Amino acid sequence: MLKGNPDQDLRVYAIWFAMYPNDARDQWPAEAMPDPRVKHYWDDGKLVGRWYADRLSDIQGQMAPGSKGFEAPVLWDAYLVYGPESRWDAAPTGLRRWGRTVLATRDALREAVESLGSGTSN
């Protein structure tokens, strides 16, 4: 996705946390998403995933078709695409699209990223 849009002005924040017994910070693949536009963060408390899970009803309208549900009170294996108009004050605004799992909704993710470059809303 990023390789296909090398000149697009994007910021990617990859938030990693353990959801399976073998998930661990010291086993995280450093080569995952090596693009310099990606900032990686490890979230031991799963605070970001819990925050989004608590607000699921607020973001349902932007959910990509084919998204999978989740059982735990944590949103994970998901993407959220925000537009350039977004503000990150008390809470983020400008959510364009989100999906889960990343693999199951990769086409919608690609379309959302491409729409940012074209200036259209997806």
Instruction: Tell me which residue range forms the domain holding 76.
Output: 12-118
Q: Which pTM does this prediction carry? A: 0.89
The letter for the amino acid at 98 is W
Q: Where are the alpha helices (DSSP H) in the chain?
A: 47-54, 56-59, 106-118
More confident residue, 71 or 55: 55
In tens, the pLDDT along 73-104 reads 999 999 999 999 999 898 999 999 999 999 99
Which long-range contacts link 89-97 to residues 24+ away (Cβ below 8 Å)? Answer: 91/55, 95/59, 95/62, 96/62, 96/121, 96/122, 97/62, 97/63, 97/64, 97/122
Which is nearest to 101 in space by CA: 11, 9, 19?
19
Query: What's the number of domains the chain is made of?
Result: 1
**Residue 4 falls inside a structural domain:** no
Q: How many CB atoms lie within 10 A of CB 113?
A: 21
Summarize pLDDT for 63-76 with one digit per residue, the tens. Answer: 999 999 887 799 99
